[in-house]
Amino acid sequence: LFQEHPDHPLAETGRYEAAVLALTREAYAEAGRLAAEVKPTPALAEDLLWIQAEAARGREAREEAIALYDRLVQEQGGGKRAAAARYQAARLAQEAGRWEDASERFRVVAADEQGRAWAADALYASAYARQQLGQRDESIRDWSRLQEVAPDYPQLDEVLYAWAQAELERDRVPAARARLEQLLERFPRSARQAEAHYLLGTLLEKDEKWEAAEYHYRLAARGKIEPALAQRIEFRRVAVLQRQGRHDEAARALNDLLARPDGARDVPAPLLDWLARWNAGQSDWPGMERAALALAGSGGTWAVPAWYQVGRAREAMGRNAEAMAAYRQ
């Protein structure tokens, strides 16, 4: 139509429709070229700029796309595409690593009445950008606003966890605890549950609230977590049980930990020494040997008492030759 009958009244509309179809099938170069060739009318001007911007984004011509989105906003600020154009330009600025520019753009989207549908995502993205700049207070500002505008935001549990960490980095422990408690109460099935319980447990432990800390460590250990984190949680729980004088439970938990592959990794030497002595008091010679060998592996000044404990355990089990080797060591 528009090639063979360029003077037809529907020729320009046909070129516009062809640009729309080219964009739909991701023929970005063709879509951008066709849209640029259409003589803009008040009815088509906004859509033509949108097609050109989307086509540039599809071709990964980031700066060209941002310029076209910005032009759309400048020329068609009250149109139906303006809020989406602002949001897409902000996303591209973020992809380019222009964190402050991206954050400011996202905040404009969130503040715009037309951008209400994008407000929560925009604030989430703005907070992330501010995190990259190390501007924790600015991130907290965005998260706080996000919670106001979208209390049911699907990723609010992630927001609350990051918010708690940012508060801790600012040494605002009560605020961090409040965010963690909010996460645990509102999102019982969150993927962040175990980590939130663990982090809250560490805060309670610092406040010497041993029973509450142990409770959260126990809940954290029940979650789906990586082995390394599970080990750290169990170690902290043992320490808290000791603080409460619940030595039987502490020893049982620590013995279970040492029975796992690499279970002794990162366990402090004084705790291994205590466990070896506790197991000796219970006549648990295999447990004593295991704890003492782990202690010997830590090296330093602990090696002498560790090998002595290994020898005692082996002697009690009737393995005298191996005990001699430990005593010589």
Q: What is the pLDDT of residues 191-250, one digit of tens each?
A: 999 999 999 999 998 888 988 988 998 888 887 777 777 777 877 888 888 888 888 888
- Whose structure tokens read 């139906």? 80
Q: What is the pLDDT of residue 69?
A: 95
Residue type, 53: A
Whole-angstrom distance, CA of residue 129 vs CA of residue 133:
7
Per-residue pLDDT at 262 exceeds 80: no
Tokens of 70: 């910005």
CA distances, 197 to each of 59, 158, 161 (Å): 45, 14, 11
Per-residue pLDDT at 22 exceeds 70: yes
Average pLDDT over residues 15-27: 94
> Cα 164–169–172 angle (5° rounding)?
65
Whole-angstrom distance, CA of residue 225 vs CA of residue 217:
12
Residue ranges of alpha helices (H) inside the chain are 11-24, 28-37, 45-58, 62-75, 82-95, 99-111, 119-132, 136-149, 156-169, 173-186, 193-206, 210-221, 227-243, 247-258, 269-281, 285-297, 303-316, 320-328
Q: Of 28, 79, 80, nearest to 52 (Cα)?
A: 28
Residue ranges of alpha helices (H) inside 222-317 are 227-243, 247-258, 269-281, 285-297, 303-316
Instruction: State the pTM of this model.
Output: 0.75
